[in-house]
Structure 1
Amino acid sequence: MTKQDQKPSRSFAGIAGIVAIATLISKVFGLVRQQAIAAAFGVGAAATAYSYAYIIPGFLLILLGGVNGPLHSAVVSVLAKRKQEEAAPLVETVTTLVGGLLLLVTLAQIVFADVIVDFVGHGLKETTRAIAIQQIRIMAPMALFSGLIGIGFGTLNAANQYWLLSISPLLSSITVVAGIGILALQYGKDIILPEYAYIGGMMLAWGTLAGAILQWLVQLIVQWRLGLGTLRLRFDFKSPGVQQVIKIMTPATISSGMMPINVATDLYFASPIPGAAAGFNYANLLVQTPLGIISNIILLPLLPIFAKLAEPDNWPDLKIRIRQGLLLTAFTMLPLGALMVALSVPIVQVVYERGAFKQEATQLVSSLLIAYGIGMFAYLGRDVLVRVFYALGDGQTPFRISILNIFLNIVLDWFFVKPFGAPGLVLATVGVNCSSMLMLLWLLDRKLNGLPWREWSVPIISLTAASLVSGVASYATLVGCQQVLGKSGLVILLVELSIAGLVGLGLFAIFASWMKIPEVNTFVIRMRQRFLKKGNQV
């Protein structure tokens, strides 16, 4: 498709190595950003308001404008099958179409900011409500930039440009951390006081917007240099390539658009629970840090491969690649989820417990982290299957499932919030993801004329059992370390967390090696070669 196609194609592990390093850097900055927010604002008015104000603009940036989002997936699925000279006109036309639509979304957020806040945060205090309304209006242009970023990500992915895709999100983190640093220099420790909540809230909003703009500008420069489109307006909406993008993009975007409804539903049930909204953000980041790295490692290389194997003659190879994606997901997500459950309290203490973030906040966030950990495999496994449908040119199936999940999420929120409180809302999301994954598998079985269920399920069940054992071992090790070393002090917590984590991961590695799963063993060997022998390609 592009100039890069003329070069020898990279191996899966080679791409995964690039993505892993770049995404790790980006996620580390994201973690630092959330630590800065936690230390400066805790679960106070500024952070709570930001949690509500960020629902729509943040969703658009992270999902619609993110790596592996619907725009990214649609553009990759089409460009991976087309010639280089078709790329720039197609990208410019899609950008014109999407940009125009998202300008309307931007204006709607500005006009209806108060309605949005009142809908999702019906129990907010007046000060928090006022901050959230102003934050939405500041961050509204992120709707436009999210679309431009998503299209750019797809364009660069199809051109085998993986480094920028994975590292550019750190720009949003840098701008927010820089803003908090400026406030800290100006106001010192007083920034944690309630009377400075409005100033802090505005800084969070402006910093977030600035990061999105920078992310788009950096990406745009690379696109121009590769000849993959400029800011030229094109209106050739009826061209075959653009129609194909629209066919995938429209239901995929609408399907992703259902997620804010689910988030809004969760926040509606959470609003009477003190600090729950901010707690969701803190716990979610702890999950998204490893999840984002691993999802990029797995999905970025696989999506173009899925697209190239979409024809019926290639379906046997496509099934092999789907199995590879699911088994690598299980191999990474299941043990990490077990560690999240077993070590939730020390994880939260080490990452967040300083400044305005007290023991009460630790208890809340750790309980949420346990619930998130339970569902990590289903979250990423669902994403792998959704990308298969996009590669097959079918955006309707994930869309229909997402519609059904809105109602399922409401029912599960209502059912779980009473006995479990805030963690119950996360468990509802886990239930929705599990339901989605099972429905996608069943429909994919029919679409591809049968799936090898036994070949797929046995190793996944085995990895699940190994993860449970490793989680129990980690928790037992943690309790033993606490009996000897105590439970206080950052250094002590780090030592205990490291020992318990290594015991769990080591035990899981022994079990996984004993299982001799071909995809896992091959991937581990190639990744080891990639990192230990620089430049070696398999």
Structure 2
Amino acid sequence: MNHRVLISLVNELMNNKIIKNVGVILGCSIVAKVLSYIWEATLAAFLGASDQADAFYMTTSIFGILYPILDLGIWKVFLPAYKKMLVEKKESDAERIANISITLFFVLSIALVIFLIVFAQPLVAVMASGFDSDKRKITIEYLRISAPTYLLMAASSVVGAMLQSREKFLGSQIREIGTHISKIIFVIICFRFLNIYAAVIAMIVGSIFRLLIQLPFINWKWKFRFDFHFKDKEILPMIKGLPSVAVTAAIVHINGLVDKMVASGAVTGAVACLNYGNKLMNVFSGMISTAISTAVYPNMIQCITNKEEGHLRRLLTKVISSLLFCIIPISIFCLVFSSQLVSVAFERGAFDSSATEITAEVFVGYSLGMLFIGIASVVTNVFYGYGDTKITMNVSLIEIVLNIIFDLMFVQIFGVAGLAFATSISAAICLCIRFLLLKKYIRISLKSISFEGLKILAISTISAFIPYILITNFLDVNKYISIILCAILFGTLYIGLALILHIETLYYLKNLFYERLHK
């Protein structure tokens, strides 16, 4: 890509406010991920890799399957319809479908709460078949107590989509911060009195603050009223598209639950270690892919609506290149320093060295799939933009089947860590399938992207092993200082080598933010 085209694309992106939105989302994501880590580290210190931890994280995994139906599902089907109304200056219609949507999903929330309370026993029997009777009993109890968490999630999700549609990304993203802060404070204060039940009740507390923290950002004329016109012409397509969107949105959580189902028959703490490894992986990669995919989604819809295929192609190419540049080095760093990172993150209180060893192996397995999951979230948005939910659902179902097959194979070879490897390999295969199916709508040059990706992989590997050899082997410092020094040296080497090898994406990002600062 020549410099004139690059500058033109930079200006285009500035006009669409993508960089500003990515910055806001990334900033909120970083804070939210740090708070999420504090939440997990607090629970790890209190619970370690115990039977109670296994039961609690199996409960959260069941929630993780149903949660996307109310959150990511709403974001994918409600946001485009609401955004279209705003673009067409139909404010009253936009607020009408918002009220109907909140009513609809609140009714579904009530149904879900009742379902979880009534059918908790058979759900746990299926999903935690490897648990002994005592562990299953406490899992059922935790699930029933935490069921009301869903009551306000629907309203929170719809309000968040409304804020995003109006480019109030701070308001839509700050909900995660409010959720984690309220949970952390509650569990720290109440754990001495309520024990594990403090963590269970904290889920309900977090869902309340999730909605409340967004309300001050609503500064346009809108008054909520229950509206049961579910057969409205704008609502029916949303209802029809929701199942396929929900399956796709829940894919990561479904695979995580499948992993935990298989792990439930393994050693005590296996489920908890899977959870800790996955959460730590998301701290490093999730914020980047989420920020980028969230910020560019409205712009993708706009390009598709206006039939600007060239703009969409350039945007998608640069987004994928940016993910390569950011996620590959993070993945390599996590692979090389897995034990040190897990030790620094969790090894305290009831979380001992044996738990660190198992979690580090799991962390390696999940880290291998960081890039594939991140790119898949962006590519999937293209299909949603074209209104094609069948492709996304079918690929997601294939990914679930592959994950189950690989789980059963790899757990015999690698133990608990094999479950994480299975998830990453399934994600890699299905990303290839998505790229093949993407040609139905748009063609992008994967050759240049792949070549740049290989260069990034090479310099990331060199940048990681140099500090590993020099600092971990020759400097006698505590683990906290050691990992900080390794990260600083790694980052310095990576950027330096990227400049020497003229990695195009580095110059693209540098120009992007340079122009933004001067504006």
TM-score under structure 2 normalisation? Answer: 0.90
Residue in structure 2 matched with residue 80 of structure 1 by the alignment: 83
Match of 2:472 in 1: 479
Match of residue 50 from structure 2: 44
Alpha-carbon offset, residue 465 of structure 1: 2.5
- Pair 1:105 & 2:98 matched: no
Cα distance, 1:428 vs structure 2: 0.6
C-alpha distance after superposition, 1:119-152 (max 9, x if no partner): 1222324443222111111222333433333222
Q: Could you say which residue in structure 2 is the equivalent of 1:211?
A: 206
Q: Which position in structure 2 is the counterpart of 1:269?
A: 262
Gaps of 5+ in 2: 1-13
Distance 1:485 1:303 in 2: 47
Aligned length: 501
Structure 1 residue ranges (4+ consecutive) displaced by more than 6 angstroms after TM superposition: none
| 1:505 Cα deviation from its structure 2 partner | 2.2
- CA 1:325/1:373 → structure 2, altered by over 3 Å: closer, same or farther? same
Distance 2:489 2:388 in 1: 43
1:324-343 alignment runs, 5 A limit: 324-343=318-337
SS of the residue 1:101 aligns to: helix
In 2, distance between residues paired with 1:182 and 1:250?
39
SS in 1 for 2:235: helix
Equivalent in the alignment of 2:22: 16
- Measured in 2, the distance between the counterparts of 1:123 and 1:96 equals 38
Of residues 229, 235, 238, the one that matches 1:242 is 235
Task: Map residues 367-382 of structure 1 onto 2, 5 A cutoff.
Answer: 367-382=361-376
C-alpha displacement of 1:203: 1.3
- After superposition, the Cα gap between the structure-2 partners of 1:36 and 1:219, relative to the gap in structure 1 and judged at 3 Å, is same
Partner of 1:460: 453
- How many angstroms does 1:208 deviate by? 0.8
Counterpart residue type for residue 29 of structure 2: T
Show the counterpart of 1:435. Answer: 429
Greater alpha carbon shift after TM alignment, 312-321 vs 245-254: 245-254
| Aligned-partner Cα distance in 1 for 2:124–2:149 | 17
- Name the aligned partner's letter for residue 475 of structure 1: Y
SS for the counterpart of 1:446 is: coil
Which of these residues, 123, 127, 131, is aligned with residue 120 of structure 1? Answer: 127
**RMSD over aligned Cα atoms:** 2.3
1:254 and 2:247 equivalent? Answer: yes
2:486 counterpart of 1:500? yes
Distance 1:138 1:493 in 2: 39
Deviations 1:158-216 (A, max 9, x none): 110111222211233223322332245x46xxxxxxxxxxx422211110111012202
Q: Distance in 1 between matches of 2:196 and 2:140?
A: 10
Which residue in 1 is equivalent to 2:61? 55
Cα distance in 2 for partners of 1:9, 1:144 equals: 39
Give, in angstroms, the shift of residue 519 of structure 1.
4.4
Choose the corresponding residue for 1:292, options 257, 282, 286. 286
Say if 2:157 is the partner of 1:150.
Answer: yes
C-alpha separation between the residues in 2 aligned to 1:528 and 1:32? 33
Instruction: Show the counterpart of 2:508.
Output: 522
Deviations 1:23-44 (A, max 9, x none): 2222221111111111111111
Q: CA deviation at 1:276?
A: 1.1
The answer as to 2:303 corresponding to 1:303 is: no
Contact 2:285 2:327 in 1 (8 A): yes
Distance in 1 (alpha carbons) for counterparts of 2:308 and 2:408: 44
Task: Note if 1:318 corresponds to 2:330.
Answer: no
Identity across the alignment (%): 21
Aligned pair in 2 of structure 1 residues 422, 122: CA closer, same or farther (>3 Å)?
same
**247-256 or 437-446: bigger deviation:** 247-256
Any residues of structure 2 matched to 1:321-470 within 5 Å, and which? 321-448=315-442, 450-470=443-463
> Shift of residue 511 of structure 1?
2.9
CA distance in 1 between partners of 2:237 and 2:15 (Å): 25
Correspondence for 1:35: 41
The answer to whether the Cα contact below 8 Å between 2:398 and 2:430 also exists between their aligned partners in 1 is no
Deviation at 1:228, TM superposition (A): 5.0
Counterpart CA distance in 2 for 1:226 and 1:24 is 28
| CA distance 1:376–1:229, change in 2 (3 Å) | farther
Tell me the CA shift for residue 417 of structure 1.
Answer: 0.7
Task: Give the whole-Å Cα distance in 1 for the aligned partners of 2:223 and 2:55.
Answer: 38
2:64–2:254 Cα contact (<8 Å) kept: no
Do the aligned partners of 1:341 and 1:471 also contact (CA within 8 Å) in 2?
no
* Structure 1 residues 292 and 153, CA gap change in structure 2 (3 angstroms): farther
**After alignment, is 298-307 or 76-85 more displaced?**
76-85
Distance in 2 (alpha carbons) for counterparts of 1:80 and 1:517: 36
What is the rounded CA distance, in whole Å, between the counterparts of 1:361 and 1:392 in structure 2? 45
Q: TM-score, normalised by structure 1?
A: 0.87
One-letter amino acid of the structure 2 residue matched with residue 341 of structure 1? L
Q: How far off its partner does 1:528 sit?
A: 6.0
Pick closer, same or farther for the CA change 1:60–1:466 going to 2, 3 Å: farther
Contact conserved, 1:64 with 1:146, CA < 8 A, in 2? Answer: no
Contact between 2:152 and 2:211, CA under 8 Å: does it hold in 1?
A: yes
Query: How many Å apart are 1:518 and its aligned residue?
Result: 4.5
After TM superposition, the structure 1 stretch with the greater mean CA deviation from structure 2, 90-99 or 273-282, is 90-99
Whether contact under 8 Å (2:289, 2:375) holds in the other structure is: no
